[in-house]
Amino acid sequence: MKIKDTITWRDIEVTIKYNDCYHKYNDLHIARLKIEAAIPLPITETGYKSHFTHPDNIEASGGAVSFVTAWLDHHAQKPEWIDAEEQRRQYSLL
């Protein structure tokens, strides 16, 4: 099943694409998340992240949106993200 959602996380538009069966080999199932934003996120300096995991990990979190939101929230607590977020809020004349 392929799912595409767009969320707004801390005033940043984030597109989440989820494929729960990106790769299957015998009993091994691999899901893929593609996370895209126009600016950096706490989980990627470029605004793009491709992440592979077992689909059970996504489902245990309540789905792709819940998984990504929790992941972003967790990494947003890091001092370097807090500093970067504050700098984005400040306007510069340079």
The reply to whether 94 falls in a domain is no
Dihedral over Cα of 55, 59, 7, 45: its sign = negative
Within-domain flag for 71: yes
With respect to residue 13, please indicate whether it lies within any of the assigned structural domains.
yes
56 lies in a domain? yes
Please tell me the predicted confidence (pLDDT) of residue 69. Answer: 98
**What pLDDT does residue 66 have?**
97
pTM score: 0.87
| pLDDT tens over the chain, length 94 residues | 789 999 999 999 999 999 988 777 777 889 999 999 999 999 999 999 999 999 999 999 999 999 999 999 999 999 999 988 888 877 655 5
Residue 85 lies in a domain: yes
Number of domains observed in the structure of the chain: 1
| Assigned domain for 11 exists | yes
What is the spatial distance between Cα 34 and Cα 7, in angstroms, rounded to a whole number?
13
Domain that residue 70 falls in: 2-89
pLDDT of residue 28: 81
